[in-house]
Structure 1
Amino acid sequence: MPSLASLSNILSLLKRHLPRIAITGLALPLIVLPAYARAPLVNLGNATAAGEDSSTAIFDNLSHNIFDTPPLGSLYSLLSPFPSWSNHLTLLGAMGGLRTQMAKIGLVLAVQETSELFGNISGGFRRGAAYDGMTTAVLQLNTQRAFGWSGGTFQVSMEQIHGRNLSADNLGVYQTISGIEADRSTRLWELWFDQKFLPHHTLDIKIGQQSLDQEWMISNNALLFANTMFGWPMLPSADLPGGGPASPLASLGGRARYHVVKPLYIQAGIFSGSPAYARTGDAQKSNRSGTSFVLNRGIFAIAELQYARGELKHIASPEEATTLPYVYRLGGWYDSEPFADQYGDEHGIALSSPQSTGRARLHRGAFSLYAVMDQTLWHSHHNLSRALALFARVMGTPQSDRVPIDFSMNAGLTLKAPLPAHPYDVLGLGMGYTHTSHSLAQYDRAVQTHTNRYSPAQGSETFMELMYLGQMTGWLQLQPDFQYIFNPSGGIPNPLHPTRRIKNIAVFGLRANITL
């Protein structure tokens, strides 16, 4: 259990760094031209409609409401005496008329800063706290308004990543604590064109540099949490080359989506097999600017089927009372890149053996299947903002000889509008589990046999997260967060104390999302 002294240290660090979080969140987008961040696609995704990717939903919302005064959340009564900008959807409003003029020619600009401070009061290989942040700017062009060309959308986005990475510096975990942790950089993120076809736009095709965590494998309720694995799952993060095409990386490719009937759609895509040219090392460093448009790394193919029932509404009949909104997804992916055997060389000898050539056997390609569920369990008939939802996602592969992770899952509950006067707040409890492949565990045992070095076989890692997302104004969210990680990285040795495993970890944090 954490000591009182440890709690005191963390509270002192929070007190010392909170002003920095606020100042950075307000100042960075104003003083660094390309200082733009992806955060709106994380914590504003709860309004996403079924069958619609989170980035599109956000921009539809902004383009219709960017100059309006939305209903306030938690601090309405406290903020009402303040200037009207405190009630806007964005902090900078019309930006002196710039956004108004842009809207006339079909342009929408969204900028959001996410700043956070996390600290581990117990466990990990060292204790401490770290600040990190990400600023994302996305510019979207509606071709109908700009050129009279129906159904077209062009989007370009950039990220500016700053601060430290607590998961890498202190924790040594598989399932990293924040989805915005990444290497410091200013980079291009996405660059694509989407065109809708057929009556009612039942078919649309997107081509260009895409980040797949925006519309594949997602659970809209899970996106409200901080842990990385509630966004881009653990299995592709660990198994795919470069961690796969997910923020802060993206890959060239194309995606087609077809709405078969109203509640059912299917989408399929083909992308570059890796988001970076380099086959070893940190993919973010080898593609530091995000402008390595990789075409020679095989293919990554993915397909997904989604079945959804719409939004909450007032009950008009007994039949409607028995059917609550849901979204079910079923999909799979395949990557044609070569994957190194986790245990043996070309002759099947353990890589740790003195007789081994040291060159891992290569396997052609890897695949995985997954399923995702978002299910509303209950909602108030008097206040549709108040709803209890369950989410779950599972993903696995039988090819444990060539990947480090063969199974991952996460699940949780979210309660929206937990208090009557807080219609846009969310209380959430979630968990994640990941399992190390059999071949990697076998390799660990072989290391201990051949070197007499302490090398326990990696097993599973589990975490829990409790968070409260408070909508403070139309443009500001604050999110206190607690996470507890069991058996970090499946039980690997502590790098500072090689004869002992890393102990279970308790992490407290505070995140701020500012929409500019």
Structure 2
Amino acid sequence: MRLKVFLSFLFLLVMLPAYPSAGQECAVEETTSTLSCVPDHIFAAEPDQRLLSSWLHPDNGITFQPVYYGEVFTNAHGGITTRGSTHYEGLLDLSLSFDLEKLNAPLPGRVNMLFQNTHGRSLEQYVGATQLISNIDSLNNITQLSELWWEVDLYESGITMRVGRQDLSSLFLTVDTASDFINSAFGLSPSAGLPSFPAPSSAVVLMTDLSSDVSVRAGLWDAYRSNEVGILSNNGSILFIGEFEYRFAAPFSQLPGILTAGATYETQGSVPAGVIPSAYGYYFQYEQMLFREAGSDEDSPQGLSAFVQHFPTYSSDNSPFPQIPHDALAGITYTGLFRNRDADITGAGAGWVDLDQGGTDQEVMIEVFYKAKVNDNLIIQPDLQYFTTPSGIYPDALVAGIRFQWEL
């Protein structure tokens, strides 16, 4: 009964955006202009409606970007248990960036800080999935300065250096087309064991553009951060990562695509749980726009896109942490599927992980969502996820939820 009510609510949220907003109907269709139905005053400049002052503006050298994410999810079927499995979880991101040149500081470049707070409860103990249900799930609630780094161009070499505590997924292993999914597997799941949310770590990154279409990045990270104080974790393990990105236009259609290839290597280290073995991996990512609606452009594309990713890893010995020897992702998204909802995004994707925990030793996750932009500050996103044998050992599970994103 609970699932039927929840699904009905999700259905209404998904389908209502398909109807034109009030005041947008035309008595007579105009073929010469897609804007003929909209009064001219709509396009007049409007003041920033956010709660926080706009004096923290890039033109002044300081950019402040506060965003709040809140979501309610329930385990409707299967997994470990459905009893008492409806919970709220939230994430507050406070990002502060300083352009040192605009501020006339003695140092060049820019400095970025990210404060994060998570609260509420996740469904990890109810579903048991390796691919965590939500990309704001920090496993345990956190209040911390997650990132603090300095970025500078190295003279006129064309190379940019970033030094400090940072999230690996902000530069590496990112799939832009998959960024609107909620499941953590479509970003960089905490279960991957890499220095990303909720435990980024100190790093040095070098990056350059070899041409307008080719970029190269390389980084050295303090791996497996085991404490929340100090600059380094002192576990002796270092992560090396390199990535090559090629941006292109597909033959015939000339639609944009991105091909990414990378490799990782982690040295041996030690934590209280045991010895960390050395490990290496490689990954391939491919994104491609398949169809673009007439009238849309590169700045605001509307249409169908697809992506795939594969990331196998290999370890020299048994690790004290859960391992994912192989994983793969694939999915599609459509921007502007419904008339007069050009900024809304709908998507469907799947993730597969090869495990070493017994049972079926594999887990498949399927996610579908609709991301509706209510206004410039608020986004609502109903979401459904289905898991086959979570962690390879639990019954198939169905998870339903809804997220809101509020730009303060």
Provide TM-score, normalisation by structure 1: 0.66
Give the drift of 1:111. 0.2
The aligned amino acid for 2:398 is: A
Q: Identify the match of residue 473 of structure 1 among 358, 375, 396.
A: 375
Superposition deviation, residue 373 in structure 1: 1.2
Give the counterpart letter for 2:185 in structure 1: M
- Richer in strand (by share): 2
Deviation at 1:133, TM superposition (A): 0.5
1:299 to 238, 244, 255: 238
Q: CA deviation at 1:10?
A: 5.0
1:118 to 73, 86, 91: 73
Superposed displacement of residue 101, structure 1: 5.7
Q: Which residue of 2 aligns with 1:505?
A: 397
Cα pair 1:416 1:423 within 8 Å, conserved: yes
- Equivalent in the alignment of 2:96: 139
Question: Aligned partners of 1:507, 1:481: CA distance in 2, in Å?
Answer: 8
Asked if the contact 1:134/1:162 (under 8 Å) is kept, the reply is: yes
Specify the alignment match of 1:262 in structure 2.
212
Distance 1:89 1:508, change over 3 A: farther
In the alignment, which of 245, 252, 258 is matched to residue 195 of structure 2?
A: 245
Q: Which residue is 2:263 aligned to?
A: 332
| Corresponding residue number in structure 1 for 2:165 | 209
Of 268, 272, 284, the residue aligned with 1:371 is: 284
Distance 1:386 1:89 in 2: 27
Q: Distance in 2 between matches of 1:180 and 1:509?
A: 13
Once residues 75 and 90 of structure 1 are traced to their aligned partners in structure 2, the CA distance between those partners, rounded to angstroms, is 25
Matches within 5 A, 1:49-64: none
Residue identity in the other structure for 2:145? L
The structure-2 alpha-carbon separation of the partners of 1:227 and 1:76, relative to structure 1 and needing over 3 Å to count, comes to same
Shift of 1:77: 4.3
Provide the residue aligned with 1:414 in structure 2.
Answer: 333
**2:54 aligned counterpart, secondary structure:** helix
Q: Pick one of 175, 195, 199 that aligns with 1:219.
A: 175
Q: Any residues of structure 2 matched to 1:68-467 within 5 Å, and which?
A: 77=22, 91-92=49-50, 95=52, 98-100=53-55, 103=58, 105-127=60-82, 128-147=85-104, 152-168=109-125, 170-182=126-138, 183-197=140-154, 202-233=158-189, 237-238=190-191, 243-277=193-227, 287=228, 291-297=229-235, 298-309=237-248, 322-338=253-269, 364-384=277-297, 385-399=301-315, 401-402=317-318, 404-437=323-356, 440-441=357-358, 457-467=359-369
8 A Cα contact 2:20 2:339, kept in partner: no
The code of the aligned residue for 1:304 comes to E
Task: Give the 3-state SS of the residue equivalent to 1:165 in structure 2.
Answer: coil
The letter for the 1-side match of 2:170 is: Q
Which deviates the most, 506-515 or 291-300? Answer: 291-300
The offset of 1:402, in angstroms, is 2.8
Q: Which SS does the other structure have where 1:382 is aligned?
A: coil
Residues 295 and 161 of structure 1: is their aligned pair in 2 closer, same or farther, counting only changes over 3 Å?
closer
Q: Distance in 2 between matches of 1:363 and 1:163?
A: 31
Deviations along 1:110-168, whole A, 9 cap, x unmatched? 00000000111111222131110100000000112111779611001101101111123
When residues 141 and 507 of structure 1 are mapped into structure 2, their CA distance, relative to the original with a 3 A threshold, is same
State the 1:253 CA deviation: 1.3
CA contact (8 A) 1:369 1:395 kept: yes
Structure 1 residues 103, 460: CA separation in 2 closer, same or farther (over 3 Å shift)? closer
The gaps in structure 1 that reach 5 residues or longer are: 15-71, 278-286, 311-318, 341-358, 442-456, 492-501
Work out the CA distance in 1 between the residues paired with 2:264 and 2:109. 27
Q: 1:90 touches 1:515 (CA, 8 Å); kept in 2?
A: no
Residues in 2 aligned to 1:88 and 1:459: alpha-carbon distance in whole angstroms: 55
> Which amino acid in 2 is paired with 1:132?
E
Deviations 1:256-304 (A, max 9, x none): 0011122111110111122224xxxxxxxxx3xxx44225223111111
Give the drift of 1:320.
7.8
Question: 3-state SS of the aligned residue for 1:224?
Answer: coil
Give me the whole-angstrom Cα distance separating, in 2, the residues matched to 1:210 and 1:123: 37
Residue 381 and residue 8 in structure 1: after superposition, are their counterparts in 2 closer, same or farther (change >3 A)?
Answer: closer
Q: Is the 8 A contact 2:278 2:316 kept in 1?
A: no
State the superposition RMSD in angstroms.
Answer: 3.2
Q: Deviations over 1:440-476 (max 9, x none)?
A: 54xxxxxxxxxxxxxxx45100010000011110111
Within 2, Cα distance between the matches of 1:380 and 1:362?
A: 53
Q: Does 1:6 align with 2:2?
A: yes
Distance 1:12 1:479, change over 3 A: closer
Aligned equivalents of 1:151, 1:252: Cα separation in 2: 20
Q: What CA distance in whole angstroms lies between the structure 2 residues aligned with 1:114 and 1:184?
A: 14
Distance 2:8 2:294 in 1: 44
CA contact (8 A) 1:477 1:513 kept: yes
- Tell me, in whole angstroms, the C-alpha distance in 2 between the residues paired with 1:208 and 1:330: 24
Cα offsets for 1:298-356 (capped at 9, x unmatched): 3111111111137xxxxxxxx9852211111100111113489xxxxxxxxxxxxxxxx
More helix per residue: 1 or 2?
1
